[in-house]
Structure 1
């Protein structure tokens, strides 16, 4: 038992091609055999039924003729004087049988020593047409017998029985069956050839897909599956190609992220370590150097904290663990808070910053997340605007949406970089971002609010970032 189990486990697996061909052949064989059996059955049924119908018509005609013209004469006398009336209507063997089963007339001259007990005779005794098919004991041939009552003026006088050989009919049926079998074998051969070709047409593309998948699994993500059809295999090829492309992109993003984080961490850490060593070596004797060093250390620590915060925010969004905490929020209060916070930075960088709004509604949203978005967008505008420039925050209602527009007249974004600025870890030529995650995080927050974020920019002209947050006044009033 164990030996058999191990053999099954170690046996080479059947290929899809082998299984397809085997299944096709099994289905074809079963279908052809069933069809052949049905053809043979109906052929046999047709010929036998035809013979039965002919004998039935002949025996009824003879019985009716006897009843109409000879029923006034006793049966024994008719057999002697008018025997030809019983067989002139047919070429079959004619028998006249008494109710006791004694055969008193046989057109073939056969002497019957035993009483007749066949099923057709028994049915005729019950005044029904009797039909029987079987083998004649004396000759061994297959026969069909049809029995019918003979009636006179006084009632039934005996049973008329027509008997015919089925050997010739069976030979014809056998000949036709052989023709059907030959046709069936030919059909099976053609079907097997077609099955092999069909299995090849299915398996060959699968082999191509499987080969490409194995290369992808081994690390070659640049290989692509050639698609030459639009069926399920074609969709599988598209899926594998898309998967390889996404894995390659994610691998590139991972490498870029590691490179970026390494670089961004090294720069502030180098500054912090350098100034810490300078302060230690100086022994706190020079207060000016001490103050400069502490200021730089504080600034670099802030950069590190901001970078870590961006990475944590991004990680939460990607994992789906960050959920919105919506509550009724006064938008005017958010705008005032952001204006107050960003005005100091704008003044420090000698940039004119203003916020314009009027009669803003109180709607349901995550106030902290929206603050984060506005601070990030305004911070980007300040970062890319030269001293003496202008940054404007405009907030208004439009078509059941609350619209935030952050506009600046800074350096702008080139047409090549504009479609990519919201991608993760993207940093353009003029970017001063540490992680390249700011706009990606903002876009994710707005998407969670079912809103949209769009960017319009012209190089050396300025940029307009627009955020649209849809809201339903009826839903708002219901919640109030």
Structure 2
């Protein structure tokens, strides 16, 4: 009873067996009622008709004369046993021409003496044979003087009913066996796909993420198999992305650490006597340290997103202030790399309810990517567009762009594009999550070889403060 298949077969079999037993019982009752009802009705009709005939045309005969008259007028084709009884139930004469000392006190005789007609279906007191008997009163000059009793053996009726019941029971057994076989097939069709899912899940649990469940039928289990295969594909893809990410992060961490170690050994061996070389080494160490800090911060942020522990500390502010801060921060870099850097902000305040540090993190990350993929002589610009409810900040560049096949996945975690300058694969994913936590939308559009535009859409604060109105 532990398996679904066993429970299905047993429960289905018990229900079907109960139904067959009920139907068999109803069938036996119907056959029994039909056979005995027909036989009884026929016997009652013949007995009553003949008794009325005798009482009408032999009314003046005494009981013994009536008995002889009855014997003479009984049809030769009559199959029932005809008996004439006196008021004590003693048999005076039967259809075989014998007078016996037998006294019959069955209910049909007693009812005939009391109410006018009696019917009895049961065993004969003397022969223990099952019989059907009908008794009617005989009258002489208007007074009851005896009983005319018709009786037939019920054994052939019982035999016929039993034979038909056995046929019905045989059909019932065949139906139960057929249904049992059918239930096995149905249970297999139900349990088979589940076992297939279990097999695939077990393989996945052992690390085989390529395992797939075969969809066998277009039903709920088939839909579950499709969902399982989709989940398996996503897990496999995420596993591959995770492996790529680990490989990439390992490389990203190794590169600055190698530089820091190399310059550290160079400075130690040089004894810090060459000031210019020392300053160059310290500058490289500082930059590589910043790279390490950035990677660690991305990993920490990603870990917080995964665990749901990232909390925003929002406040009402003018978004233009954040944009101005990043303009100052990246202005010198633009000059050093020979890239035109433009910032277009509206003249009126742009009130938003945001976490300033996280919002600045978004724009720093977006601008860092833009500078990373834009060659000398290119341009980068930040622009703001506002309506009644939202503000859109667009960060555009004329860099190398993103391949069409990579664009739909560029904001997925661990995803790294084909470019050699790709980072850890977490920057845009983190930016997107932060924007969503602020109730905004994040989107990326790009044309390969022409540039990329990232759009950050945020809801505006509900109303302006007095200070903002006075500006």
State the Cα distance separating 1:461 from its structure 2 match: 1.7
Matched, 1:307 2:292: no
Partner residue of 1:135? 123
State the Cα distance separating 1:155 from its structure 2 match: 8.0
State the Cα distance separating 1:430 from its structure 2 match: 3.5
Q: Distance in 1 between matches of 2:241 and 2:358?
A: 25
Match of 1:426 among 407, 415, 421: 415
C-alpha distance after superposition, 1:212-236 (max 9, x if no partner)? 5554444433343443432344334
Partner residue of 1:7? none
Q: Report if aligned partners of 2:264, 2:281 keep a CA contact under 8 Å in 1.
A: yes
Q: Report if aligned partners of 1:17, 1:199 keep a CA contact under 8 Å in 2.
A: yes
Partner residue of 1:339? 324
Partner residue of 2:282? 294
Aligned length: 457
State the Cα distance separating 1:30 from its structure 2 match: 5.1
State the Cα distance separating 1:60 from its structure 2 match: 4.8
Change (3 A) 1:438 1:75: farther
Change (3 A) 1:60 1:39: same
Partner residue of 2:398? 409
Match of 2:262 among 269, 274, 279: 274
More displaced stretch, 412-421 vs 441-450: 441-450
Gaps of at least 5 residues in structure 1 are 1-12, 475-480
Q: Report if aligned partners of 1:127, 1:149 keep a CA contact under 8 Å in 2.
A: no
Partner residue of 2:447? 458
Matched, 1:258 2:262: no
Matched, 1:220 2:212: no
Q: Distance in 2 between matches of 1:87 and 1:202?
A: 70
Partner residue of 2:163? 175
State the Cα distance separating 1:462 from its structure 2 match: 1.8
Q: Distance in 1 between matches of 2:72 and 2:287?
A: 133
Q: How does 1:226-245 map to 2 (within 5 A)?
A: 226-245=214-233
State the Cα distance separating 1:107 from its structure 2 match: 4.2
Partner residue of 1:439? 428
Q: How does 1:144-183 map to 2 (within 5 A)?
A: 144-147=132-135, 161-183=149-171
TM-score (norm 1): 0.77
State the Cα distance separating 1:47 from its structure 2 match: 0.8
Q: Report if aligned partners of 2:402, 2:448 keep a CA contact under 8 Å in 1.
A: yes
Partner residue of 2:373? 384
TM-score (norm 2): 0.78
Partner residue of 1:79? 66
Partner residue of 2:469? none
Q: Report if aligned partners of 2:241, 2:415 keep a CA contact under 8 Å in 1.
A: no
Q: Report if aligned partners of 1:381, 1:391 keep a CA contact under 8 Å in 2.
A: yes
Q: Distance in 2 between matches of 1:393 and 1:150?
A: 125
More displaced stretch, 305-314 vs 438-447: 438-447
State the Cα distance separating 1:377 from its structure 2 match: 2.5
State the Cα distance separating 1:457 from its structure 2 match: 0.9
Q: Tell me the SS of whatever aligns to 2:452.
A: strand
Q: Report if aligned partners of 1:393, 1:406 keep a CA contact under 8 Å in 2.
A: yes
Change (3 A) 1:282 1:30: same
Change (3 A) 1:208 1:341: closer
Q: Distance in 1 between matches of 2:312 and 2:114?
A: 93
Match of 2:100 among 99, 108, 111: 111
Change (3 A) 1:147 1:281: farther
State the Cα distance separating 1:387 from its structure 2 match: 4.2
Gaps of at least 5 residues in structure 2 are 464-471
Q: Tell me the SS of whatever aligns to 1:230.
A: coil
Structural RMSD (CA): 4.1
Q: Tell me the SS of whatever aligns to 1:411.
A: coil
State the Cα distance separating 1:287 from its structure 2 match: 3.7
Q: Distance in 2 between matches of 1:313 and 1:298?
A: 22
Q: Distance in 2 between matches of 1:407 and 1:208?
A: 50
Change (3 A) 1:396 1:153: farther
Q: Distance in 1 between matches of 2:391 and 2:180?
A: 69
Q: Report if aligned partners of 2:334, 2:341 keep a CA contact under 8 Å in 1.
A: no
C-alpha distance after superposition, 1:377-421 (max 9, x if no partner)? 333223333344433333334585443322222322222321221
